[in-house]
């Protein structure tokens, strides 16, 4: 069964441990600019959100790539970049509706999450539980439970 990264924005503190874990795994240095995940910070709203590739069922990045540099890893389900085939056109960046593909100025290449081969470092580093790696079948159940809890809170406030 395929797994996906699940983001629970309510748990994110913007500590950026996920960015550091990702950068050390992928670039060999603690450098948030080399990370494949970004903690988006909205200070006015007191809202933080880890932004990472959603490993879409229909990945527009993969469809638009003229070099065929993006392919689905059948084992992990991740859309993986073949750096040798990448021509650096950045069409994948423009095609991604979630900002999950980026260009590393330091590395001079397109970068994106590959789920660390099935053991995402960002999940291991997130002590707050804002990032989880779950089977797809669990995702629907979790969303339904979350929606039910939210509805329950709203009913208590009204009643």
| Residue 21 within a domain | yes
Nearest Cα to Cα of residue 116 among 32, 49, 53, 50 = 53
- Indicate which CATH number applies to the domain containing 85: 3.30.70.20
Q: How many domains does the chain have?
A: 1
Residue 154 lies in a domain: no
In a domain, 74, yes or no: yes
DSSP code at position 16: -
Give the pLDDT score at 76: 94
User: Is residue 64 included in any domain, yes or no?
Assistant: yes
Structural domain of 85: 3-134
- Whether 145 has a pLDDT exceeding 80, the answer reads no
Domain assignment present for residue 10? The answer is yes
Question: Is 144 inside a domain boundary?
Answer: no
140 falls within a domain:
no
Mean pLDDT to the nearest integer, 125-147: 82
Residue 159 scores a pLDDT above 70: no
The whole-model pTM stands at: 0.83
β-bridge mates for residue 81, sequence order: 70
Residues 6+ apart with CB under 8 A from 153: none
């Amino acid at each position: 069964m395929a797994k996906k990264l699940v983001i629970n924005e309510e748990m994110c503190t913007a500590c950026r441990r996920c960015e550091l874990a990702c950068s050390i795994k992928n670039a060999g240095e603690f450098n948030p600019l080399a990370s494949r995940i970004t903690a988006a910070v909205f200070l006015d709203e007191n809202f933080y959100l880890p932004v990472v590739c959603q490993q879409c069922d229909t990945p527009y990045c993969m469809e638009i790539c003229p070099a065929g540099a993006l392919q689905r890893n059948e084992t992990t389900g991740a859309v993986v970049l073949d750096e040798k085939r990448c021509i650096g056109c950045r069409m994948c960046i423009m095609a991604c509706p979630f900002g999950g593909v980026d260009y590393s100025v330091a590395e001079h290449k397109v970068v994106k999450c590959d789920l660390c081969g099935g053991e995402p470092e960002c999940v291991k580093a997130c002590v707050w539980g804002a990032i989880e790696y779950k089977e797809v079948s669990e995702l629907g159940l979790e969303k339904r439970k979350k929606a039910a809890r939210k509805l329950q809170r709203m009913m208590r406030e009204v009643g």
